[in-house]
Amino acid sequence: MARMTQRRKIHRFRLDGSGTEYPVRFKEDELAAEEPLEIRIGGRSFAVTMRTPGDDFDLVAGFLVSEGIIRAQSELISLRFCAGDAGGAQSFNVIDAQLRPDVPMPDTMRHVYTSSSCGICGTDSIEAVRKTLHFDPSQDALRIPLDALAELPERLREAQGLFDKTGGVHAAGLFKVDGTSPELLCLREDVGRHNAVDKVVGWALRQDLLPLSGTVLQVSGRASFELVQKAALAGIPVLSAVSAPSSLAADLAAETGVTLVGFSRGHSLNVYAGRERVDRPRKVSREENHARL
């Protein structure tokens, strides 16, 4: 199995504030691995993605959910590593998914709608996602306290073991919020933020947890159209990002009923859609403060 990290010899240069150069140091650095993964369905090639090896079955299962192909564990019969085109040896960069016989095989051109850079106009992209939805996040009754929501980026960062080693991966964490105490259910890391999300969704599918009602998906980067799409197709009612959303991501969130949060950085955050799910702390009156003293 390919490793999630690789070591490389490097030359480290360092300057002080005055521009004086210190001696060159020769050392090793640890990098996040990046390799192609071919996804096949019933033996037919469907897609290739660049990813960090590890949790690959989760990645493929989540990708199939994000494509609107499956929505339940029972629809996925098996996942297996198989031989690549170069020969008969097993490859850990090729996975074949076997679907239940009654699950329609996807049109190989269907996935053009899932890319935020595909060039399809916004209205058509949103309509394509809406028609593919198996779950309805707008009906989710989740309400999340503002202070619990603001806590999630730090909780995510604390759990990022691969980032600590390499500094070069995105993370996605699935949280269950009961009262004011968020519980981390699953965290995945990858060089691609969309892969990290697919790995989380795939984990949930393989645990038979879809739809992911009452959960929050916290991501380490920005909130793109495709991340909102992946959240909506998994039935996740809240997507929170530490950076900015795109305009099309905000439009899709409003259309599908996903609460979209951006620039969540501890002491502040912006809500771009679904404000009604976020509960602000109740102000304490002077009389209550006096009674506590």
What would the pLDDT profile of 161-204 be if each residue is shown by its tens digit? 999 999 999 999 999 988 668 999 999 999 999 999 999 999 99
The architecture (CATH level 2) of 35-132 comes to: Roll (3.10)
What would the pLDDT profile of 194-251 be if each residue is shown by its tens digit? 999 999 999 999 999 999 999 999 999 999 999 999 999 999 999 999 999 999 999 9
Is there a contact between 182 and 174 (Cβ–Cβ < 8 Å)? Answer: no
Reported confidence tier of residue 131, pLDDT bands at 50, 70, 90? confident
Q: What is the mean pLDDT of the chain?
A: 88
Give this prediction's pTM.
0.87
Q: Considering only residues 284 and 78, tell me which one the structure prediction assigns the higher pLDDT.
A: 78
Residue spans of the domains in the chain: they are 35-132, 137-279
Query: Which residue numbers are catalytic?
Result: 118
The architecture (CATH level 2) of 137-279 comes to: 3-Layer(aba) Sandwich (3.40)
The reported pLDDT for the residue numbered 101 is 96
Mean pLDDT, residues 249-261 taken together: 97
Cis peptide before 211 (omega within 30 of 0): yes
What would the pLDDT profile of 47-86 be if each residue is shown by its tens digit? 999 999 999 999 999 999 999 999 999 999 999 999 766 5
Quote the tokens at residue 99. 């679907």
